[in-house]
Amino acid sequence: MTPSASDTAGHLVGEPVTSVSQWLDRYAAALIHVFGVPQTVLDHGQGCEVVDVDGKRYLDLLGGIAVNTLGHGHPALVEAITAQATRLVHVSNFFTSGPQVQLAEALLRIADAPTGSGVFFGNSGTEAIEAAIKLARRTGRGTIIAAENAFHGRTTGALALTWKPAYREPFEPLIGRVLHVPFNDESALRAAVAQVGDDLAAVVLEPILGEGGVVPSTAAYLRLARELASAAGALLILDEIQTGMGRTGSWFAFQSRGVVPDAITLAKGLAGGVPIGALVTFGPETTGLLAAGQHGSTFGGNPLACAAGLAVIDTIEIQGLLAHAATMGEHLAAAVLGLGHPQVAAVRGEGLLRAIVLTEPIAPAVMARARDAGFIVNAVAPDALRLAPPLIITATQLEQFAAALPGLIEGGGSP
């Protein structure tokens, strides 16, 4: 396509324009309604800004839920995807490709994984968890301990580890022998591990509950989980699908807690928006649990997704985005708390995974007003707004949002 004149929404001049409301009507008639009605219909984006089909601009403070690590249209990501698409998009797992091997090596390096560690690639977070569940089953034991308020995905294995009854119960029976314990509660974890005894295959935890409201684990809790799992001969599997890839200011949240897991799961931000998932196993013993023929995926590890993943890792390193995520996260928390607003109770989280906690359950209304005002955020709980912006977000952009926040909370004249 040759470049042509376009209006503010990027429509080619003279092209028939379909409005947000027209698309939403067609969406309602054509899609299965598992997500409710989408908030708008996005058309394009650049950096931390996205534009809907009506030409309305938004500051994207959610980044596709911690997925658009480099924002929208980052030249390094566009170039990597474009270049790889001209070479090979898919090869099957009868073959490998340079990007697949390079991305596995890069993940082992940034995860500080010891010699003999390994990577399995899938296409989503829930698939990474499925691989982790199969890894745990290969210990020969059957029970998994997970946390209350945890989210690990929607396929039927991962769903058994996910806490929210409304997600889980319509699909029961799921895989059995999953025990949920209150998060960050050391004595409850001790008691559960003792109760399960010899049947404990794995303890599976998010270092920060993501969907559960952006609740960080304490370092002491993760260290205890490490100790108890080791003593029981079980695996410690950390779900870094939302917290990984620099989001918290370190590559992975386990690194800031001084804990070495047996495995981590990755997805969301790993390839900057191209679908991908990964299980990283630490050390030869754990890595050896999955033998030839015991797991697989048609699309997993395809060169397109892996080239995108490499571009994400390279760009985070070249642009110093780990330190930037940490600094911007502090900046956001300071700007929001500095408002001294009576309805802001706290700011939770680390780096650029944050929740603004409100004193009342008005987060859905604040989210709607934010959207009308041109800010994308997420009401992760009735009283909490989640922000997980691209790691390239600037101080000025965060300040714009903080300045608007009192009006968004108070509502004024808008609904």
Ligand X SMILES: *Cc1c(COP(=O)(O)O)cnc(C)c1O
Distance in angstroms (rounded) separating the CA atoms of residues 252 and 78: 25
User: Shortest approach of ligand X to residue 138 CB, angstroms?
Assistant: 21
Nearer CB in complex with ligand X: 153/303: 153
**Residue 239 or 262: which CB sits closer to ligand X?**
239
Q: Are 246 and 324 a contacting pair, CB within 8 Å?
A: no
* Beta carbon of residue 118, minimum distance to ligand X (angstroms, whole number): 20
The CB-of-161 to ligand X minimum distance in angstroms stands at: 9
Q: Shortest Cβ distance from residue 284 to ligand X (Å)?
A: 26
CB of 222 to ligand X, least distance (A): 15
The answer to whether 193 and 200 are in contact (CB under 8 A) is yes
For residues 278 and 122, is the Cβ–Cβ distance under 8 A? Answer: yes
State the nearest-atom distance from the C-beta of 217 to ligand X, in Å.
Answer: 12
Q: Give 108's Cβ-side CA count (13 Å radius).
A: 19
- Closer to ligand X by Cβ: residue 56 or 154: 154
355 to 319, 335, 380, 385: CA distances (angstroms): 25, 13, 8, 5
DSSP-H helix ranges across 169-254: 186-196, 219-232
Phi, psi of 409 (to 5 degrees): -70, -45
The 3-class secondary structure across 85-97, one letter per residue, is: HHHCCCCCCCCCC
Q: Are 281 and 287 in contact (CB under 8 A)?
A: yes
- 270 or 408: CB nearest ligand X: 270
User: Whole-number minimum distance, CB 211 to ligand X, in Å?
Assistant: 6
Cα separation, 245 vs 325, whole angstroms: 11
Radius of gyration of the chain (CA): 22
* Contact criterion met (CB below 8 Å) for 251 and 111: yes
Considering only CA atoms, which of 106, 147, 303 is closest in space to residue 237? 147
CA separation, residue 300 to residues 90, 96, 110, 229, 411 (Å) = 9, 11, 20, 29, 46
Structure tokens at 249: 């200011």
Closer CB to ligand X, 268 or 369, in the complex: 268
Q: How far is the CB of 267 from ligand X (least distance, A)?
A: 5
Please state the φ and ψ torsions of residue 286, each to the nearest 5 degrees.
Answer: -65, -40
The H or E element spanning position 402 is helix 395-410
* Closest CB to ligand X: residue number: 125
Nearest distance in Å: CB 240, ligand X: 8
CB of 405 to ligand X, least distance (A): 25
- Could you list the residues that contact ligand X (CB under 6 A)? 124-126, 129, 151-153, 206, 210-211, 239, 241-242, 267-268
Cβ-based nearer residue to ligand X, 126 or 397? 126
Q: Which is nearer to ligand X, 267 or 280 (CB)?
A: 267
Between residues 52 and 350, which has the closer beta carbon with respect to ligand X? 350
322 vs 250: CA distance, rounded Å: 6
- 243 or 397, CB closer to ligand X? 243
Nearest to ligand X of 211, 383 (CB atom):
211
